Structure 1
């Protein structure tokens, strides 16, 4: 009986791994990359946001690291993450609206605004809490502006 139970558990584990591998294999690499990029944005913004809102103690070193990370991530060239043919309805697991590709100049301007706001945050994050709080507004506004225009609502 124990052998049979172990065999069944091993088979179930193998099936779960195979299902996850197939699901991962079917995801578009560009979509996967932009999801990863957005998760990195969210992770670093979360650190800064919790400090700015008083949910975490201000730590100048950690704030600076998070802001520097955000500036690097936001400053990358996003074209590889958004190739044509990866909008809602064209691939699975995306909320990128087709308007990105019909309004590419505006999309690029919004991305540049985020890069600029993130760079400004990196310039002050290690200074003091008030500076982080002041810079968070501009970063949040740039995220919101792009998501309103180019991300399908939940």
Structure 2
């Protein structure tokens, strides 16, 4: 048993530095933009589960999630998208190189997301039935950018 614990400790010690090393290779701008997308995904998940009836509708939680999406939409994007942070340049991103050829289009699509999030924010506390259509508009805004500018997994 002591040998097993010692072996596990050694394995963990070897894995952690490798993971930390990879994380350090990803530029801070990429970490920041991926972080904002994770926050979006969490909050869209909360709203989606309520809209589908998989979790009980909670007006306060729905409003908080929608408010968070609007807050994220207000993050100034250009610093998060420096050239050289695409799939062809670094590992750890799904950003297609076409983003930098069409950054104005990407930023326009981000603005569309913000508009859809703001519409969702106005109805989030109005009940489960109000979530679906507004959430669909947010999803369409996300899809419009992802279809062109995000690499598949």
- Structure 2-normalised TM-score? 0.92
Asked if structure 2 preserves the Cα contact closer than 8 Å seen for 1:100 and 1:107, the reply is yes
CA distance in 1, matches of 2:16, 2:5: 16
* SS of aligned partner of 1:135: helix
Question: Does 2:84 match 1:85?
Answer: yes
- For residue 96 of structure 1, report the CA deviation from its aligned partner: 0.8
Two-structure CA RMSD over aligned residues (Å): 1.6
CA distance in 2, matches of 1:97, 1:13: 34
CA distance in 2, matches of 1:93, 1:19: 14
Aligned 1:125-140 pairs, distance under 5 A: 125-140=124-139
CA distance in 2, matches of 1:34, 1:113: 17
Aligned 1:2-151 pairs, distance under 5 A: 2=2, 6-151=5-150
Uncovered stretches (5+) of structure 1, i.e. residues with no partner: none
Matched length: 153
- Structure 1-normalised TM-score? 0.91
Deviation sequence 1:75-99 (CA, Å, 0-9, x none)? 2111121111111111111111111
Asked if structure 2 preserves the Cα contact closer than 8 Å seen for 1:74 and 1:114, the reply is yes
CA distance in 1, matches of 2:121, 2:95: 27
Uncovered stretches (5+) of structure 2, i.e. residues with no partner: none
Asked if structure 2 preserves the Cα contact closer than 8 Å seen for 1:124 and 1:131, the reply is yes
Cα 1:116–1:10, aligned 2, differ >3 Å: closer, same or farther?
Answer: same
- For residue 7 of structure 1, report the CA deviation from its aligned partner: 4.1
CA distance in 2, matches of 1:8, 1:94: 33
Asked if structure 2 preserves the Cα contact closer than 8 Å seen for 1:28 and 1:91, the reply is no
